[in-house]
Amino acid sequence: MSIQIETQVLVLGSGPGGYSAAFRCADLGINTILVERYPNLGGVCLNVGCIPSKALLHISKLIQTNSDLNEFNISKNITNIQLDINKIRLWKNDIIKKLSNNLNSIATAKRNIKIIYGFGTFINKHTLQVSCDKEIIKVIFDYAIIATGSHPTSLPFSPNDHRIWNSTDALELKFIPEKLLIIGSGAIGLEMSTVYHSLGSKVDLMEASDQIMPILDKDIINLFSKNLIKKSINCTVNTQVHAFNSKPNGIDVITTNKLDPNTKKTHRYDAVLIAIGRFPNSKELNLDGIGIQTNKNGFISVDKQMRTNISNIFAIGDIVGNPMLAHKSIHEGHIVSEVISGKKYYFDSTVIPGVIYSDPEIAWVGYTEKEAQTKNIKYASVTFPWNSLGKAITSNYTEGITKLIFDKNTHRIIGGSVIGLHASEIIGEIALAIEMGCDVEDITLTIHAHPTLYESIELAASIYNKSINT
């Protein structure tokens, strides 16, 4: 059975970018259809990414709080907690279900967006064919927004073994391995190391480059590495994985180190998480068939209005390339909606913050010191240590720093990094300051609440301000 429907805007994919675009289009009075291949709205972020990982990281924080109370020796009733993994899994899934249902309600009841569940493929530049369970639906559109996201990268030699995971598998909490190897030390790898360590696994991290999170400055990473050592999480850099051998009682992982490439080592683990990046979901959309340009990795090429080389088709989110971040996708979705409505909107944000919600959290925005050096920018960096910060001391979290990067000529802030408790919340002020073109005095003359963690921004700026005025 085949059905044909017409709409002004078709949104393909219901992740943060997709649903944000659909909601904004509807708010602007544009007739909108949202197509989603999976049973639940929300994409990777809500179902198998941002939200479930943050739920599990919250559990990790509660476990750490229990450990802190024992360390302080202030309670007679705190004992070793017994975790019920099944209940944690159910709790996590309930959060996902609640948020997905909320999205559905907002889309249909509040905005009258039609949702079609099925797999969409472009027939031409104005038609999408959606394969549903019992029917084929052809959607004729004036404009299309492609927001199909990405999927985890695998290793070509990985065997079909339920103990070799991608990020989706790790978030399912299938079991808690006694020994877990995480290959890759990006956001997913570091966050999952926090989760599984707190749940009782002995965690090893392996990274192919010469430091974890290579884009970040060494002082930030050195502090994070000290925390890994404190937790007995072993991290090896310059390490390449060459093969997996499935055994009845574990996975044998064969590795070499770049500094000694002729010596192979074998390590046995109960589970292995591969967290080495993501690829775009673009192969099955028939993009080549309708002439949409992609690069060699399948990412769609767009201009500053998120428009592809076909004028009525836009693309947003992971499918257009790095950084693959939900908040970037949301912003792009809003831009496209305004463009379709006839406004002259462009993606012209100065900076996009990045966050790793590990323990400790790491957040950065704008230039790192490393990047400023690479681009020959005359800069000054200043760091404020949290062991001098009242709120950090009362929170038992003094192992943190707030680092700011200033342009030496203009004294404007051009970058910042934070490592420590709630770094994800602190980075927002730095992002706004860069976006607004603030100089050092704009920050130092802003009264910050005390005692807080975010006042470390003012304190760091004050150090720089004194250095240029003495």
Chain centre to alpha carbon of residue 147: 16
| Residue 369 assigned as binding residue | no
| Residue 57 assigned as binding residue | no
> In this model, does residue 70 exceed pLDDT 80?
no
Half-sphere exposure at residue 452, Cβ-oriented, CA atoms within 13 angstroms: 13
Q: ∠ at Cα 21 (19, 23), nearest 5°?
A: 65
Give the list of residues 6+ apart from residue 376 with CB closer than 8 angstroms, or none.
none
Q: 50-72 and 85-105 are packed helices; what angle lies between their axes, rounded to 10 degrees?
A: 140
Q: Which two tokens stand for residue 236?
A: 């090896």
Residue 361 CA to residue 422 CA, distance in Å, equals: 7
| Residue 306 assigned as binding residue | no
Residue 115 pLDDT grade (very low, low, confident, very high; cuts 50, 70, 90): very high
Chain centre to alpha carbon of residue 364: 13
> In this model, does residue 166 exceed pLDDT 70?
yes
pLDDT in tens, 171-194: 999 999 999 999 999 999 999 999
Give the list of residues 6+ apart from residue 160 with CB closer than 8 angstroms, or none.
none
Kindly list the distances between the CA atom of residue 37 and the CA atoms of 97, 292, 349, 387, in Å, as whole numbers in the listed order: 17, 21, 31, 49
- Please say whether the dihedral angle defined by the alpha carbons of residues 455, 456, 461 and 463, taken in this order, is positive or negative: positive
| Residue 20 assigned as binding residue | no
Enumerate the domain spans of the chain: 3-52+86-152+279-341, 164-276, 354-469
pLDDT of amino acid 78: 65
pLDDT in tens, 11-28: 999 999 999 999 999 999
Q: Which two tokens stand for residue 403?
A: 């680092």
CATH no. for 3-52+86-152+279-341: 3.50.50.60
- How is the beta sheet containing 202-206 ordered, strand by strand? 164-165, 271-274, 179-183, 202-206, 234-236
Residue 361 CA to residue 312 CA, distance in Å, equals: 41
Put simply, whether the predicted model's pTM sits higher than 0.75 gets the answer yes
Homologous superfamily of 354-469: FAD/NAD-linked reductase, C-terminal dimerisation domain (3.30.390.30)
| Residue 326 assigned as binding residue | yes
Nearest to 49 by CA among 117, 164, 196, 151: 151
Do the domains 354-469 and 164-276 match in fold? no
Q: What is the DSSP letter of 422?
A: T
> In this model, does residue 76 exceed pLDDT 90?
no
Stretch 263-273: mean pLDDT: 96
Stretch 310-314: mean pLDDT: 98
| Residue 324 assigned as binding residue | yes
3 state SS of 134: coil
Query: Which one is catalytic: 58, 267, 331, 450?
Result: 450
Stretch 347-352: mean pLDDT: 95
Nearest to 49 by CA among 84, 79, 16: 16
Nearest to 396 by CA among 54, 70, 60, 53: 70
Annotation marks residue 450 as catalytic:
yes
pLDDT of amino acid 79: 65
Residue 298 CA to residue 319 CA, distance in Å, equals: 8
Q: What is the DSSP letter of 109?
A: I
Does residue 420 come out as left (phi exceeding 0), alpha (psi in the -120 to 50 range) or beta? left
pLDDT in tens, 409-455: 999 999 999 999 999 999 999 999 999 999 999 999 999 999 999 99
> In this model, does residue 66 exceed pLDDT 90?
no
| Residue 185 assigned as binding residue | yes
Q: ∠ at Cα 145 (111, 357), nearest 5°?
A: 85
Q: Which CATH class is domain 164-276?
A: alpha beta
Stretch 88-99: mean pLDDT: 97
Residue 178 CA to residue 128 CA, distance in Å, equals: 47
Residue 260 CA to residue 185 CA, distance in Å, equals: 21
Q: What single-letter amino acid sits at 395? A: S
Query: How many other CB atoms sit within 10 Å of the CB of residue 323?
Result: 12
pLDDT of amino acid 82: 83
E strands in 96-188: 114-117, 119-124, 127-131, 136-146, 150-152, 164-165, 179-183
Average pLDDT of the residues of the chain: 95
| Residue 149 assigned as binding residue | yes
**Count of positions (residues) in the chain:** 470
pLDDT of amino acid 299: 98
> In this model, does residue 1 exceed pLDDT 80?
no
**Preceding omega of 261 cis (within 30 degrees of 0):** no
Residue 262 pLDDT grade (very low, low, confident, very high; cuts 50, 70, 90): confident
Stretch 295-316: mean pLDDT: 98
| Residue 42 assigned as binding residue | no
Percent of the chain with pLDDT over 90: 92
| Residue 189 assigned as binding residue | yes
pLDDT in tens, 78-90: 667 788 999 999 9
Give the list of residues 6+ apart from residue 65 with CB closer than 8 angstroms, or none.
none
